């Protein structure tokens, strides 16, 4: 029977290192704490998409009227993590159906849906691309009637004391966006973040600090200024008694968006999604499969029984169910398969845990990392020839059609 996905409301959370163990179990991604603002100089941002600023500050109601129609709820299915994740986004180009959100909202997603509270419609979304370094993702839905774009304030002056309102999808509850007023309490902040569930970590620079109450589920939502324009992207929530949340400046976010949509390469920038084979391998440059297994056994630290290792010879529902195999193929070099995800091209080809992949797409596979690189260079639907050695010593070759990889 299928496994019911576990819901998760994605959000970066600023906490003290001493309480990481508690916070990680509750919300997944946690800030290790803000760094010295002087450690990283603020980044310059371009502003070729600006919205005219009203001559006087608007009321909270007027700000909501301008921004709220653009806010959307995002649900990401993490099939191979047995979870779903919820967050927020906002429309930046209604004609093209483009939506901006945080990358960590859709990270490892196998599919994404967008709900527009203003119209009540729910739509499948395509991942246009991501900038992992900036924690920005661009999604696209088919243009629909009534879709409203957010007024962007890339040219707005922002500093301590600037009045703001955050919009979000609190706790992934959906419906009308939740709103929270506050002020900007700092600029140019650098923060470190870690995902306790997966070990993912990131450092974000030039962040806006705000007293607006940003909570799990708000990630990717707009932070609006007094002119009723979006000046930031909600990214980090306050916890542990602190009222400080963090947002990516809209100039930084839109610079990342333009690089993604223009298809310009850069560190951490990728467009679309990669091909997907469905094998679980170590992150290792070691050539010898025995060394790869030893590295994984060291990470497992004796927590896995031999019986559990034997059971991974069949396919596994999630990446976390894979283990260093009890038996490995007699190959001198290649990528050791720790597990095969059910329903993937690798499972259909008959690859099993303990097998060693030695050739992919006509190229020798020297290590697990080499296989990851070869597959990542291919698009979904690519036909790939694979050669592998089974645990019984048999060499097999088969052609597989790559699937669609989870989001970066």
The residues that bridge with 72 in the sheet, in sequence order, are 89
Q: Among residues of the chain, what percentage have pLDDT more than 70?
A: 80
* β-strand pairing of 245-249 with 201-210: antiparallel
Cα separation, 88 vs 83, whole angstroms: 17
Cα separation, 384 vs 365, whole angstroms: 13
| 304 shares a domain with 234 | no
Q: Where are the beta strands (DSSP E) in 132-244?
A: 136-140, 163-168, 178-195, 201-210, 222-224, 230-236
| 219 shares a domain with 286 | no
* Domain of residue 362, residue span: 275-404
353 near 337, Cβ under 8 Å?
Answer: yes
Split at pLDDT 50, 70, 90, the class of 193 is low
265: CATH: 2.40.10.120
* Average pLDDT of the segment spanning 172-189: 90
What pLDDT, on the 0 to 100 scale, is given for residue 200? 63
396: CATH: 2.30.42.10
pLDDT in tens, 298-335: 887 755 545 444 444 578 988 888 888 989 999 999 99
pLDDT in tens, 334-347: 999 999 999 999 99
CB burial string 286-322: b at 16+ within 10 A, e below: bbbbeebbebbeeeeeeeeeeeebeebbebbbbbebb
Q: Evaluate if residue 37 carries a pLDDT over 50.
A: no
Q: Which of 271, 288, 320 is the last residue of a domain?
A: 271
45: helix, strand or coil: coil
14 near 244, Cβ under 8 Å?
Answer: yes
Query: Does any domain span residue 1?
Result: no
C-beta neighbour count of 43 within 10 angstroms: 13
Residue 86 main-chain phi, psi, to 5 deg: -120, 145
275: helix, strand or coil: strand
- Lowest-pLDDT range of 31-45, 102-116, 151-165, 302-316: 31-45
| 294 shares a domain with 204 | no
Measured CA distances, 317 to 278, 286, 298 (Å)? 11, 27, 23
| 158 shares a domain with 289 | no
Task: Say which residue, 253 or 309, is predicted with more confidence.
Answer: 253
Split at pLDDT 50, 70, 90, the class of 55 is low
């Amino acid at each position: 029977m299928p496994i019911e996905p576990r819901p998760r409301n994605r959000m970066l959370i600023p906490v003290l290192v001493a309480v990481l163990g508690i916070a990680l179990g509750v919300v997944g991604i946690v800030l290790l704490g803000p760094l010295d603002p002087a450690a990283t100089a603020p980044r310059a941002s371009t502003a070729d998409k600006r919205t005219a600023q009203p001559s006087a500050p608007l009321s909270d109601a007027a700000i909501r009227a301008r921004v709220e129609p653009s806010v959307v709820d995002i649900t990401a299915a993490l099939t191979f993590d047995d979870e779903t994740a919820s967050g927020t986004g906002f429309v930046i180009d209604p004609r093209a159906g483009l939506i901006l959100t945080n990358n960590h909202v859709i990270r490892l997603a196998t599919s994404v849906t967008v709900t527009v509270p203003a119209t009540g419609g729910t739509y499948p979304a395509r991942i246009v691309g991501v900038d992992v370094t900036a924690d920005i993702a661009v999604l696209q839905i088919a243009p629909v009637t009534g879709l409203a774009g957010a007024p962007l304030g890339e040219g707005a002056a922002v500093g301590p004391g600037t009045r703001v309102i955050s919009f979000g999808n609190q706790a992934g509850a959906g419906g009308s966006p939740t709103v929270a007023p506050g002020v900007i309490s700092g600029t140019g902040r650098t923060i470190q973040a870690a995902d306790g569930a997966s070990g993912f970590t990131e450092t974000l620079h030039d962040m806006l600090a705000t007293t607006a109450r940003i909570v799990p589920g708000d990630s990717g939502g707009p932070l609006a200024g007094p002119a009723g324009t979006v000046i930031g992207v909600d990214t980090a929530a306050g916890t542990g008694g602190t009222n400080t949340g963090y947002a990516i400046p809209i100039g930084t976010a839109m610079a990342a968006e333009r690089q993604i949509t223009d298809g310009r390469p850069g560190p951490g920038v990728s467009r679309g999604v990669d091909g997907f084979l469905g094998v679980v391998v170590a992150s290792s440059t070691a050539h010898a499969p025995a060394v790869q297994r030893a590295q994984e056994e060291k990470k497992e630290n004796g927590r896995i029984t031999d019986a559990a290792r034997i059971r991974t010879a069949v396919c596994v529902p999630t990446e976390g169910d894979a283990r260093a195999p009890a038996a490995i193929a007699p190959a001198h070099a290649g990528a050791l398969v720790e597990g095969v995800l059910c329903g993937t091209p690798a499972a259909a080809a008959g690859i099993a845990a303990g097998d060693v992949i030695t050739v992919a797409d006509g190229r020798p596979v020297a290590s697990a990392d080499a296989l990851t690189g070869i597959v990542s260079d291919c698009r979904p639907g690519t036909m790939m020839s694979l050669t592998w050695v089974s645990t019984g010593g048999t060499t097999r070759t088969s052609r597989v059609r790559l699937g669609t990889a989870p989001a970066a």
